[in-house]
Structures are given as C-alpha cells and as structure tokens.
Amino acid sequence: MSTESLAVALVGASGYTGAEALRLIRQHPDLHISMLCAGRQAGKPLAEVLPHMRGVDSPDLVAFDADAVAEAARFAILAVPHGTAQEAAKALLDRGVKVIDLSADHRFSDPALFAEVYAPHAHPESLARTVYGVPELNRAAIRGADLVGVAGCYPTSVILGARPAVQAGLLDDGAQIIADCKSGVTGAGRNPTATTHFPETSEGIKAYKTLTHRHAPEMAMALGVKVRFVPHLVPMSRGILSTIYLPLKAGVEAEAVRATYAAAYADEPFVTVLPEGTHPETRHVRGTNRCHIGVFPQGDLLVVQSVIDNLVKGAAGQGVQCLNLMAGLDEQAGLSHTALFP
Amino acid sequence: MSTESLAVALVGASGYTGAEALRLIRQHPDLHISMLCAGRQAGKPLAEVLPHMRGVDSPDLVAFDADAVAEAARFAILAVPHGTAQEAAKALLDRGVKVIDLSADHRFSDPALFAEVYAPHAHPESLARTVYGVPELNRAAIRGADLVGVAGCYPTSVILGARPAVQAGLLDDGAQIIADCKSGVTGAGRNPTATTHFPETSEGIKAYKTLTHRHAPEMAMALGVKVRFVPHLVPMSRGILSTIYLPLKAGVEAEAVRATYAAAYADEPFVTVLPEGTHPETRHVRGTNRCHIGVFPQGDLLVVQSVIDNLVKGAAGQGVQCLNLMAGLDEQAGLSHTALFP
Amino acid sequence: MSTESLAVALVGASGYTGAEALRLIRQHPDLHISMLCAGRQAGKPLAEVLPHMRGVDSPDLVAFDADAVAEAARFAILAVPHGTAQEAAKALLDRGVKVIDLSADHRFSDPALFAEVYAPHAHPESLARTVYGVPELNRAAIRGADLVGVAGCYPTSVILGARPAVQAGLLDDGAQIIADCKSGVTGAGRNPTATTHFPETSEGIKAYKTLTHRHAPEMAMALGVKVRFVPHLVPMSRGILSTIYLPLKAGVEAEAVRATYAAAYADEPFVTVLPEGTHPETRHVRGTNRCHIGVFPQGDLLVVQSVIDNLVKGAAGQGVQCLNLMAGLDEQAGLSHTALFP
Amino acid sequence: MSTESLAVALVGASGYTGAEALRLIRQHPDLHISMLCAGRQAGKPLAEVLPHMRGVDSPDLVAFDADAVAEAARFAILAVPHGTAQEAAKALLDRGVKVIDLSADHRFSDPALFAEVYAPHAHPESLARTVYGVPELNRAAIRGADLVGVAGCYPTSVILGARPAVQAGLLDDGAQIIADCKSGVTGAGRNPTATTHFPETSEGIKAYKTLTHRHAPEMAMALGVKVRFVPHLVPMSRGILSTIYLPLKAGVEAEAVRATYAAAYADEPFVTVLPEGTHPETRHVRGTNRCHIGVFPQGDLLVVQSVIDNLVKGAAGQGVQCLNLMAGLDEQAGLSHTALFP
C-alpha cells in the first residue's frame, strides 16, 4: 500500500456484503483495512469463515470495540445485520469516525418513517445527520457527510432506472411506477433457509413479499413517486434486473425520452445507457460497480430495465464509492475493474 | 395398451415440445403413438435424437407423409417449427385426420391479423375452422373441433392469470394490462444459439423483445384487452412465471377479487388458486399440466402471478388436454401425475 | 384405482425420498397410498409441506402408529431419517406388515458391520431377516422378503456399474476399485445447511468425505471387493454419475468386457448398456428408475460410467421396484415412464 | 497507467480467454493493452462483441498485422483458436515480439509428439524454442523465454496437484495416475453447440472423451508418468476440480505425504495446500490465479484434489504470470485480487 493509504475498519466480515467490501478494499489503491471486526466469529482465522481468503494476507477477526476502531481508522464500513448498526454507528460517530452503513439502519432521515417501515430507531438523532448513499442522486451531500446510509440493492437499481424520467417531468401527473425486480440469491444473505436451499431455489422462479417489501418506501422516498414493487427470486447468485413500468405524459415522444436518459448519465462514470433496442443483462455487470440501463418507450408507456450487481453497486461497491467521496479521493478509485464475464 | 387405445401420429419428435408430447402419450392410458414423423432426422433410431429414450420401446422416426399418417391415426399432433405446420395441417385435414397444432400457425382465426403478426398464411381457409386451444377458455368449441391451434406458452400463462378479472369486469374501463413474464430456456427451442449458450444464460437474467414479442397480440385476442408484454429469460430449463399487473376499477374490494378467482377456477381440474398470501413457484408445476395462481389485490392494483410448465400446460400437455376433449376422453386422462419435485 | 389396488402406507412424506415415493405410487396402476405418516408435520395439510401437491387429492398427514398402519396396509415404505427406521420396522414386522426401508437402517445383515459403520442396531434380529434391496443383484431373495433395506443412492449406482466386471472375473486378483461419484444436492436431504445454501452450491463443485463416506462399506459388501470412494457435490438437484475405475486382469480384451456388460443386462428392464463410445448423462434418466451405463475399456483399465436418478433408482423408485417383487406384481409396474427431458 | 507501463498486444479478444486476458491486463499496474486484434470481428466496437465492456474505455478491434503489432508492443498474448497461433507466433517472433500463446500450439517441444497429438506443426522450429508455461514447474526457463506455450487448463490443474508426489518419489514404481477432472462450460469455448445448449447442460453431468482427450499426453509430458484422464462437464461456467488418484509406494506414511506437499508449495504465491481434512471448492478461486489443493492419503492410495479457475490459472492468468516473469516484473503483479465469492 502507498504511504498515504487510508485506514478503514470493516465491521462485519462474515456475510456476503462484508466479504465483498473486503475484496474491493484489498484491490483499492488508496485504502487498506486496518481492522476487521466480527460478531460470533471473532477470534477465528479469516479463512475459516471465508474460505476463498485462504492463502491471502488479511487482518484477524476481532470483536467490535468502538475505541479500538477509532484508534485504527478514520472511516468504518458497517456490514452488519439490520438493527445492529444503530448502536455501532452512534458509538463510532461519537469518537469521530465517519461511518458508511451498508445495513438499512440509516437510509431514512425521518424517524417516524423509519419507525413505520422498520421499528423505532435507537438513535433518532443519527437519522438527522445521515445522508442517503446514492452518489448519482446526491453526490455533494455525501462528500460532506460523516454518516451515510448506503441505499438498498433493489432501490439503487430502481432509482437509477426511474429517476431521469421522474426528474424531467416525463410522467403522467400523479403517476405511480411499477417495479418488477428480479434478484439473485445473495440478496437473501448468507444464512441458509428453506427458501435458499439449492433444490428449492434452482430450476425455478417465484415472487415474494408482493407489494409489501420494505424497499418500496425507500424507493418512494428517493424518487418522490409511489412505487408498486414486486421482488422475485432468480436461480443465480448475484445480480438484480429491475423492469420498471412508467406511464408517460401524453405527447412525450420516444426520442425525448431517450435524450433525457442520455443526458442524465452522460457524465456518470458508473451508469451506462445502452444503445436503442439493446437489453441489459445482469451478467455484464457482475462483480462491478456499474449499472446498465435499457430504455424502451412505446406510446404512453416507458419500460426501463436497469441491472446492477446487488453486492457491489447494490451494497459494498456503492459504499466504497461513497467513501471515496467522503475522503476526497477519486470517485472511481478501486472500482474501475470490469465484469467477471462470463 | 388397452384394445380401445386410440392411435395418434406425432409429427416432429426431435424438438422439446415433440419429446414432451411423446413422454405424455406414452403414459396416457387411452392413447398410443402409431406413427412418429421427423424431418431431417427421419430414418435415425429415436435414441440418437432423444438419448433419454434409450432402452425404451418406441416407433421409428419416419418421414412425414400425409397419406401414411391418415392410415395410421385419426389424430395428429404437430410439433413442428412455426410456418411448417400450415401445409401439414391442410394435408391431414383433407384426409380426415384431426389436428392439434402446437406451433403458432393456427392460433388466430383472422387471416389479416395472422398476416400482420406473422406473415400471410398459406391456407387462410384453415384459420376459418381453427379453434384456439385453451380448454379453460373455450372447452365446448374444442370438443367439436377438427383443428386446434394450441395457445402459446406465454399466452396460456397470462390468459389463465388475467381472464377472471377481465371477464368479471373488475378492471378500469379501457385498462391495459402489463405482463412481465419470466421463462425457462426450453421456450427458445432446441437449436443452440449465442443466447442459449450455457455461460451466457446461467448466472444472469435479461429481458428480450420488450413490447415487441409476437405473443402480445395473441394475448390481446384471447383476453379482449391490450397487453403490454415483456418476456425475460431465466437460467432454468422449464417454467413460466407471469407477473401480471391489472388496474382495478375504483371501489373493487380485495375480497371480491379473491372470490372472483376462486369461483372462476373452482371446477377446473388443472388450475389452482393459491391461498391468500401464497406465492406460486414454477418448480411446483414442473412436468405437469397444472397452473398455480397467486392473487394479490392492493388498492387500485391487482397483481396476479401465474405459473405453468411451458412444455406441458404451455404446449404438449395442453395439446393432449385438447385431444382428450376432441376424442371424447376424460379431460384429465394421462395428465394427472404430479410435479417432479424438486 | 382398480378394485385390486394394493394399499401401501408411506411413513415419512415431508422429505425428498418420501415425496418421490408419493409421486410414484400416485401413478402406479396397482398401488395406492392408504396412510401417509409424518413426524413433526403430522396434522398439517399436505400442500403446506409439499406445495407441489396443491390442488391434488391426497390423504392427510397423520402421526405414525404401528397398529393403525397394520390396519391400513400390508406394505409400508419407510422414508424416515437414518436411525428412526429401526423401531418402526420392528413394530410393523411384528404386526405382519412387510417393510421397504429407504433409510440406511437395514442394508447390512451383519450387526457387527452395521455397528462399525453406523452404531449398534436397536434390533439386530431385524438384520438377520433383511434383504439388500437391489433387484438386479438378488431378485429372488427380494421376492420372498418381508423386510428389504433398499440400497443407498451411491451404492446402487456403483454396484450396477461395477458388478458385471467383478462377477465375470475380469479384474486383477486383489484389485480394488475407485469410485469417483458426482451427486446432485437432493442427496443431502431437505434440511437447509451452509453446504446446500444456493450461493455456496451453484457455480462450483467440491468433493466431501473423501475415502471416509459410509457408503463405501456398503459397496464393498455388495460387490465383494474393496472400493475407494470419493463423493462430489454437483450444482444440480437430481442425479448421480459414478465414474468407476477398474483394473483389468492381463489379457482381458476390450471386446470381452463389452460382451460381458451386454450379457449381464440383456434382460434387465431398467438397465441399459449404451453403444460403444457413448457417454451416459444424468439428465437422460431424470425422474426415472433407469440406469444408463457406458463401458470404456482401454488396455489394463476399465472405466465404467453409470447414471441414475438418486431419488428414483437410488431410493423411492427402487423401493417401489422391490415392493412390486414382494407383492407379486409386474416388476415394471408404475415405473415405465420416461425421463423428464430436459 | 504509469509512465513505465509496458505495452502488450492482445490477439484474439472475442473468445473467453481473450476477454479474460483483457480484464486482467486492464487491472494490471504495469501493463496496458496497446493493440487489440480480432479476426472476423475486426472493425466492430468492442462492446458489440463483449457487452460487459460497454461504458469502459478500450482500444478498437483491429485486424491482426504482425508489423503493426511489432510496432505497438514488445509482448503479445495469443488468445486464438488452436492451429491459428502457429503462423502468428512465427511472424511475431521474427519481428522481435515475445509471445505468450494461450492456445495448444506451443505446449510440446517435440515436433513428433505434437504431430501425434494434434497434427504436423507449421513451424517446428518454433517448438525448439518454446517453453512450457507453468511457472511452478519451470520458472527460470520462462524468465528467459521469448515464446511460452501456456499449459492447458486441465493439465495445469493436474500437474499442480500431482507433481509434488511424483517429484518426491512417493509413487509406486511404474505407477500410473488417474485424473478424474470436472470442468465448467467455458472450457468448451464461446461457440454455441448442442453440448453447451443450456437445457442440455444444466441440471446434469456427463463425462466426454473418456481416456482419449488430448490433454492426457500433455500431462504425461509434464509429469513424467502415464495419466489416465477422464474429463467431465459440470453445470457451471468456470472452474476445474481435478480429483487425482495416485498409488503410493509401500511404506509411505500419510504424514510424509502431507509434509511433501506443504514443502513443495511453501513459497509459491498462487498455490495453497489446505489444512488436513479440508476440501477445495472451485468457487473459492473463481476469478483468481490461485490453486487450492487438498491432500488425502489413506494407506496405499493418495487422493489429491486441485481446483483452479480454468480461464485464469488455466489460461489468461497463467499467461499474465508468465509475461510478468518474461518482463522482469513482480510475478504477482496484477494477479493479487481475491475471488469473486460467491
């Protein structure tokens, strides 16, 4: 690592988003992990928990201690279960550590909304200072933040896909959006369940939590429109494809829609609008922080398809992108690699 | 086979729908295959073309000859590529053979519509006598038909899912329906292509032919409403899940929607409406002629999810169901087995 | 069902082998399930435990009671976890019910060997009367048995593949066999574990229990030679491919090997020796009770490849085959369907 | 790129190994692609051929011209079909370009052997100067080479797994080795075929070219022992697991075997011998240049399991490792990233 490499503490290393943050920071030119915290797994060799790390140098897994983290790092990435991040973030902020939270605990600024969607927050005052972590949405605010609640995987995909049309006023007044999203199984985490048991996940597809998933209010908050959201579980490990149905205002031409999308992302390093007629595929962004968007206007309906890797742009990669901004680094640092294809 | 077993000719045995028809008729108590026709593969041992038939008694593959078929069978199932069935059906009908066509060639009665969606039909007079092959839609007409154009896989799934709401007048006036459908790869047939090459099909998902797929007019024809249709390719071999978005008329209560669906399929042997809150999975109908439907009304939106096996209820199984009706057999004969799970 | 249909009790219906026995008996012309027993799931509607049974008539799940079973059926199939079958079999035998045990509890006749491989048997006297359930090996004994311990999935596949060469004395004196077996994930049962969690099972392969798996002594017992056995977990749900390496005695010609295999299975309804140079595939026997065998002699080495469906010929199907023999039915009854391909 | 970054020409960018070389060099700190050559695809935008490169800066695809390559780069990586590399390598060597050939064209030094396994070589004099590209085998020779024939994917995996035992004289005199190898589908290349069509590749496993595959002589050449090789096709995209069976000399203790393996790879940066009892998994090395090895001695038999990513350590990554050595760079440069897990 270079002498100016910035120390980062990673809290929660045994789940998929933590493992992904570890992968990304290891190949980051300006960051290094100075402390690796785990819960029940603390004390174990990392390779027992993450066998793909066998033979690779890495810090040991230690129990979380806010004082020790504050001594070891100016930035901490939280990759812990929802609920658990509330205390950890508070303790770290109190000690001057800037926090990037990959969990759902700091995505809403409004404590009442948070309580409605999840449960009352242990530290509502944290919500007053949190910034929603989608750089394409609010880059400037992230730069100045000391607490970022990185967006959920589904919301990231839907927000990037729907926002240009919403922002440009292309939709019908009072329109609501339908987001039919298809996710890989890592989105369900690393704990084995009946739903993720191979024989009941492979060779089949199903929806779940139809119209009741907690990512819908997050999408609505970020987009300012109502979103009817149906998530589906696909027999693949990584990736989200969101097929978004947006009712166009009368008179909006297909060409205008395409121009709006092209302009919206012309300068975005991680978002690419595909040529007319081209369909995005999740496998083309696997392992990357990139988002590919296909735009299909037809008469009064706009269909947008948006693909990301749920563990990267939908979690750890977006976290590193936010951290880059907060630390004054090049936003693309450590995130410029291409997809593992196929 | 029983002495009263009915002879059936199967035309086209080397593709997936043909192989599936062969499987179903072999286990049918009242039918047997008296002639097995193939194109380029004629003359080969069946096991070379369908290796899973190795060690199993079966007729040889012979070249198609309408006179020979007419001598061998009163019924013929056509499992040939789109376009090819037009001549075959005509020749067989002329010889008094009743035809169940699994291709797209006889799904429309209107030659103009057929020409618009596909190309001018070689025998428009066939279209005047064809019956659309979805027994749940028009059982009586199928019973009396001598030519049935079995519905496409996507349309079958969408029609079964959407029809009760449409028929009962639950939808907004002038409402259009969104059908976001997810299909297994056998829907693309047996010819290898870049799109179906394993490394570019596994571990990923994509849409294709967004809003331009030729099954949309078929759905509209059968349902009487406009359908905006986006098909997706899922890394699985069999199954279609259609997630259908239907705008409800103001004042329609969730309970009324559920009651409508329960009533619509109360007596249907192959369609099951799942209990409230239950999501259908394609793997639960794999290998069967069954359709599972989940009904999720919420405010002004009804989400219906419908799953079938695209090769069975979406093709060969529905063909046998139609044949059962045309032959005066028990409609469920040969189709009562349960899913291969998992 | 026909009036002469034979009543069968199925004990253990919530796991994969139980579900498969249920599927096979439902389509059996001469058998029906008169009682369906479960453990913790007793009392629940079957469709809650096996959602693919939704919409299909079936008996309720009741708690196991030996007296009730004895009243309901002359035959019982046990599809319960290893260890659990010992008491159940004893109780049923005492009441005159003939038992087909799909678990590992009655595969050895020698209590000492059983104790060494598993643990001391609760009813060693049961072992004295048990018959090892591979009809191709000991059909006559099965016909006369009232207790059959159906062979394990791996052993079935290896025994069918290796036995002709062993029996015909084609192997080197004192030769040992290497069995490199590849299994689908249903072999691990229905309980979700870290090993069967989709993201850690798909897109990868690994061996497990190298040279220490408990099926090795079972193979050795049935074959009379030492077997070095390495099982592998493949990202598929069903199927076992056993690649077996057998050292040939000097002077044994390739043609003699092929002739031996052809002769050994010429009259076996479920075993097919493939033409020279043809490789078997698990997907060609999926859902069937069939075994495909490829024979590749080269100099001093014979490689045999044997494929089965682990849940059918490797468990429930072989159980029904044994039951057919015990009941004096046609051995192929209910098992003549072809593979679900693809 | 740094000012001292070394220019590399990549010849053949539209297949999987070419795409992988492109990925690896893009993230290499000391290399950059100065010319990207393609065959039929020359002139097309790269993103049309490799859609995952959409939105990423990259050179255009140009037709191969040896003079132009010699002007653009001191090193060329050939990722072209077998046979095609013979002329290209000759032309480049004549112009002073050092060549790393990922095809099979320069793996043998002996023209007679090459002709026997493949066909007569167009430039046998190239074979006189080629070095076999497995750094763990002959690092010094690679450092001084101007032509390296990078080892095949199967041979790399088997050589790394078997060599310590062979080298240390642990095997029976005259012993032959059995290599039962399981590969992902990218090993078959990018051209769609019946064998790689998703429905006939997923949910199943089969062997192919039993005892006749052309990688067996390559293994024997590198190891100095006879190898009986059976490759299998597994429903996954990337990865090879080789299960290798080695007959141990009488008296060789398990502990000695383990010590031999530990010593052999103690200083190797890319090869890790796993702790006793631990099984390697292909998914733990996915996307990396690493090899994990599990060692299972038992009595007279040693079972070794070796996993690599076939496109990285089995092709493009090993090519870059060789190039690093030839160019005097750090051997690990550009190859230190960890696996994409899961």
ipTM of this predicted complex?
A: 0.97
Contact (CB<8Å) C16/B337 = no
Measure CB to CB from residue B281 to each of C16, C51, C292 and give the nearest one: C51
- Residue D281 and residue D289: Cα distance in Å, rounded? 14
Number of A:C CB contacts under 8 A? 56
Measure CB to CB from residue C208 to each of D206, D211, D279 and give the nearest one: D279
pLDDT at D3: 55
Q: Which amino acid makes up residue B147?
A: L
8 Å CB contact between D317 and D291: no
pLDDT at A1: 44
Contact (CB<8Å) B198/D203 = no
Contact (CB<8Å) B203/D235 = no
Provide, as residue numbers in chain B, all residues whose Cβ is less than 8 Å from the Cβ of D192: 192-194, 196-197
Measure CB to CB from residue C202 to each of A16, A191, A198 and give the nearest one: A198
Residues 6 or more apart whose Cβ sits within 8 Å of residue C275 = none
pLDDT at D59: 86
Provide, as residue numbers in chain A, all residues whose Cβ is less than 8 Å from the Cβ of D287: 287, 340
Q: Which amino acid makes up residue D16?
A: Y
pLDDT at B285: 98
Least confident among B77-86, B103-112, C243-252, D55-64: D55-64
Q: Read off the pLDDT of each residue in D53-57 and give the average, rounded to a whole number.
A: 92
DSSP 8-state symbol, D62: E
In chain C, DSSP assigns E strands to 6-11, 31-38, 61-63, 75-78, 98-101, 131-133, 147-150, 177-183, 206-207, 227-233, 240-247, 271-273, 291-298, 301-308
In chain D, DSSP assigns E strands to 6-11, 31-38, 61-63, 75-78, 98-101, 131-133, 147-150, 177-183, 206-207, 227-233, 240-247, 271-273, 291-298, 301-308
Confidence of residue D58 (pLDDT cuts 50, 70, 90): confident
What would the two tokens of residue C70 be?
């004895």
Q: Which chains touch C (3 or more CB pairs under 8 A)?
A: A, B, D
Q: Across the strands, what pairs with B293?
A: B273, B306
- Nearest-CA distance from D192 to chain B in Å? 5
Q: Is C240 helix (H, G, I), strand (E, B) or coil?
A: strand
Q: Read off the pLDDT of each residue in D199-207 and give the average, rounded to a whole number.
A: 97
CA end-to-end span of chain D, whole Å?
30
- Residue B177 and residue D249: Cα distance in Å, rounded? 73
Measure CB to CB from residue B192 to each of D16, D186, D196 and give the nearest one: D196
* Burial (CB count <10 Å: 0-12, 13-18, 19+), residue A71: middle
Q: Is D1's pLDDT higher than 50? A: no
Token look-up 């990423």 returns D56
- Nearest-CA distance from D93 to chain A in Å? 31
| Per-position pLDDT tens, chain C of length 342 | 445 899 999 999 899 999 999 999 999 999 999 999 998 899 999 999 999 999 998 888 999 999 999 999 999 999 999 999 999 999 999 999 999 999 999 999 999 999 999 999 999 999 999 999 999 999 999 999 999 999 999 999 999 999 999 999 999 988 899 999 999 999 999 999 999 999 999 999 999 999 999 999 999 999 999 999 999 999 999 999 999 999 999 999 999 999 999 999 999 999 999 999 999 999 999 999 999 999 999 999 999 999 999 999 999 999 999 999 999 999 999 999 999 999
pLDDT at A311: 98
Q: Read off the pLDDT of each residue in B44-67 and give the average, rounded to a whole number.
A: 94
Q: Is A326 helix (H, G, I), strand (E, B) or coil?
A: helix
Provide, as residue numbers in chain B, all residues whose Cβ is less than 8 Å from the Cβ of C337: 23, 26-27, 337
What would the two tokens of residue A195 be?
């739903």
| Per-position pLDDT tens, chain A of length 342 | 445 899 999 999 899 999 999 999 999 999 999 999 998 899 999 999 999 999 998 888 999 999 999 999 999 999 999 999 999 999 999 999 999 999 999 999 999 999 999 999 999 999 999 999 999 999 999 999 999 999 999 999 999 999 999 999 999 988 899 999 999 999 999 999 999 999 999 999 999 999 999 999 999 999 999 999 999 999 999 999 999 999 999 999 999 999 999 999 999 999 999 999 999 999 999 999 999 999 999 999 999 999 999 999 999 999 999 999 999 999 999 999 999 999
8 Å CB contact between B86 and B22: no
pLDDT at C57: 86
Contact (CB<8Å) A205/B180 = no
Confidence of residue B1 (pLDDT cuts 50, 70, 90): very low
Q: Least CA distance to C211: which residue of chain D? A: D298
What would the two tokens of residue A155 be?
């919301």
Q: Is A291 labeled as catalytic in the residue annotation?
A: no
Confidence of residue B4 (pLDDT cuts 50, 70, 90): confident
pLDDT tens sequence across B291-340: 999 999 999 999 999 999 999 999 999 999 999 999 999 999 999 999 99
Given the residues A153, A181, A291, A322, the one annotated as active site: A153
Provide, as residue numbers in chain D, all residues whose Cβ is less than 8 Å from the Cβ of C303: 210-211, 228, 230
Q: Which chains touch A (3 or more CB pairs under 8 A)?
A: B, C, D
Measure CB to CB from residue C54 to each of B16, B50, B292 and give the nearest one: B292
Contact (CB<8Å) A197/C199 = no
What would the two tokens of residue C41 be?
């799931």
* Burial (CB count <10 Å: 0-12, 13-18, 19+), residue B125: exposed
Q: Is A192 helix (H, G, I), strand (E, B) or coil?
A: coil
CA atoms within 13 A on the CB side of D14: 20
Contact (CB<8Å) C303/D235 = no
Q: Least CA distance to B239: which residue of chain D? A: D199
pLDDT at B3: 55
CB atoms within 10 A of CB B130: 22
- Nearest-CA distance from D2 to chain B in Å? 35
